[in-house]
């Protein structure tokens, strides 16, 4: 029997086993975890984001941590729905291949809302295309740690007589700014470098991933912490591992939404969410010990 594993996950489960996508109740901040780019990733994500918007979503956290990539065309479609038509999404170029530029179309657009994308050292390939393109196009703030650096374009050639296949790297992916995604030998810059660096040691990182996996299991009823602006988080029955990266993303969105509401109340026009410059950003180090 063919078993299909879900790749689009919420934050945790409700008591009826449905997904809970909100990590903050006021303001309403949604959380969506995409584990891999499969043939239906764009379609499902587009439907979900539209539904969350109808439910009063004030901001979105898209979690691409531990996402190894997948189909490039699905990654392009995901970026496409968040950026204006004509926007450069990604470029490919190789020694024997001319440059190809992929741009956004006119269809399947989502209305603007503030957005944070989470990445870490296990975010690779298509996950780097999505996060890097949204960063370069100033559509999302990137939080976490530097991504893996896998941006090669590969083709498969069938050998004569069906004796085997040969996989060749023919080009590399470049982000709209011209940055090379792939980590070359002795490279000092690669992948996607977060706007806000939040470092977690290996032990905490493993605990956070295990905790997320457990929260997202069917019929998991132990509720994690939730947050309301201006109020302390309500803790679960057992003390959870603190997901510093998710916490930073949530705080970033809460701060932006509160600021925008104050501006609107004062008669000022709301502005797009912008990221701090790398020069002004210092890494957030993990605590020495984690209970």
What are the residue numbers of the active site?
125, 136, 150
Separation of alpha carbons 232 and 166, rounded Å: 56
Neighbours of 105 (CB within 10 A): 14
Q: Structure tokens of 58?
A: 């004030």
């Amino acid at each position: 029997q063919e078993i299909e594993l879900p790749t689009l996950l919420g934050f945790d489960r409700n008591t009826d086993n449905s997904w809970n996508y909100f990590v903050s109740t006021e303001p309403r901040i949604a959380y969506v975890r995409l584990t891999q780019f499969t043939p239906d990733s764009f379609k499902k994500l587009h439907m979900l984001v539209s539904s969350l918007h109808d439910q009063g979503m004030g901001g979105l956290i898209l979690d691409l941590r531990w996402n190894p990539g997948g189909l490039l065309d699905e990654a392009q479609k995901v970026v496409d729905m968040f950026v204006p038509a004509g926007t450069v999404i990604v470029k490919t170029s190789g020694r024997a291949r001319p440059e190809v530029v992929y741009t956004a179309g006119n269809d399947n657009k989502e209305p603007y809302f503030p957005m944070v994308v989470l990445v870490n050292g296990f975010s690779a390939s298509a996950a780097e295309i999505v996060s890097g393109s949204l960063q370069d196009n100033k559509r999302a703030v990137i939080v976490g740690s530097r991504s893996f650096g896998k941006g090669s374009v590969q083709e498969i050639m069938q050998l004569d007589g069906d004796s085997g296949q040969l996989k060749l790297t023919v080009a590399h992916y470049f982000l709209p700014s011209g940055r090379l995604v792939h980590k070359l030998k002795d490279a000092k810059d690669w992948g996607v470098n977060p706007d806000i660096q939040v470092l977690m040691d290996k032990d905490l990182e493993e605990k956070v991933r295990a905790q997320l996996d457990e929260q997202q299991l069917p019929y998991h009823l132990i509720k994690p912490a939730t947050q309301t602006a201006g109020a302390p988080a309500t803790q679960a029955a057992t003390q959870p591992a603190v997901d510093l990266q998710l916490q930073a993303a949530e705080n970033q969105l809460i701060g932006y939404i509160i600021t925008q509401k104050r501006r609107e109340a004062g008669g000022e026009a709301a502005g797009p969410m912008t990221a701090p410059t790398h020069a002004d950003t210092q890494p957030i180090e993990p605590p020495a010990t984690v209970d």
